[in-house]
Amino acid sequence: MASSDLEQLCSHINEKIANIKRTLSLRNCGQEPTLKTTLGKIGDEIIVVNELLNKLELEIQYQEQTNHSLKELCESLEEDYKDVEHLKENIPPHLPQVTVSQNFANVSDLDPEEPVKVEEPVPTKKPPKEQRSIKEMLFITSDEFNGIPAYMKSRLTYCQINDVIKEINKAVVSKYKILHQPKKSMSSVARNLYHRFIDEETKDTKGHYFIVEADIKEFTALKADKRFHVILNILRHCRRLSEVRGGGLTRYVIT
């Protein structure tokens, strides 16, 4: 064996021996009564620091999602501003140009003895039939979120819960638009959904807006997984929905 290989082997063995000595020394320190109290306090401090790190992680996630939402809102506002500017610069020439002289005549120019002609109002078209409103779930407020027990919300953030509410509302609106639609104008797909919706109704859901998991899969990209059901439990806690069971189905009623 070369001398360099032997030196490396000796060095490795010595390092292992040193590690064992340090381990034994630390174990002996832990057995000393004077150090047990100190080590216990250090352990408590580590737990507190770990909890603070978890809270910090949740806050960072919330701020990142808020920042993302604000960026999307800013981009949307910029698009709207461009559209308004475009409309302003491209007003159709055939539209009537309203001037002050047309609307406000000088009183001194009027003949007091000449009868004033009153123009007949132009009959307006009958407004379209008002669409039936669809009840949607209210978003969770920050105070409500802070009042949710920690064991219930775990690492879920304020934005994540409200994002699910947004998708649930999407499913509710999509479902009841079909139910409010005239049957003659329905496609075959919509007609099949319509019949399913009717079959799922019970005396307990009469007059209430509700959805089932099939509606979530039909109208949203949400997955009915464990996380989704945890959020449903939170929404029940916050009195945003209730459950009506029967016929092998769970109906989520908007409250």
Q: What is the pLDDT of residue 25?
A: 74
Strand partners, 61: none
pLDDT tens sequence across 40-51: 777 788 888 888
- Based on DSSP, count helices (H) and strands (E) in the chain, helices before strands: 9, 3
133-254: in CATH 1.10.10.1890: yes
Q: What is this structure's pTM?
A: 0.50
Per-residue CA distances from 77 to 69, 72, 208 (Å)? 12, 9, 36
pLDDT along the chain (255 residues), means of 10: 73 87 73 70 83 86 88 88 81 58 50 57 58 89 93 91 95 95 92 94 94 95 92 95 93 95
Domain spans, the chain: 13-89, 133-254
Strand partners, 245: 250
Q: Can you tell me the distance from the alpha carbon of 252 to that of 255, in angstroms, rounded to the nearest whole number?
A: 9
pLDDT tens sequence across 12-55: 888 889 888 887 777 766 666 766 677 777 778 888 888 888 88
Q: What is the pLDDT of residue 84?
A: 85
Q: What is the pLDDT of residue 78?
A: 87
Q: What is the pLDDT of residue 205?
A: 93
Phi/psi region, residue 10 (left: phi>0; alpha: psi -120 to 50; beta: rest), is: alpha
Q: What is the DSSP letter of 111?
A: -
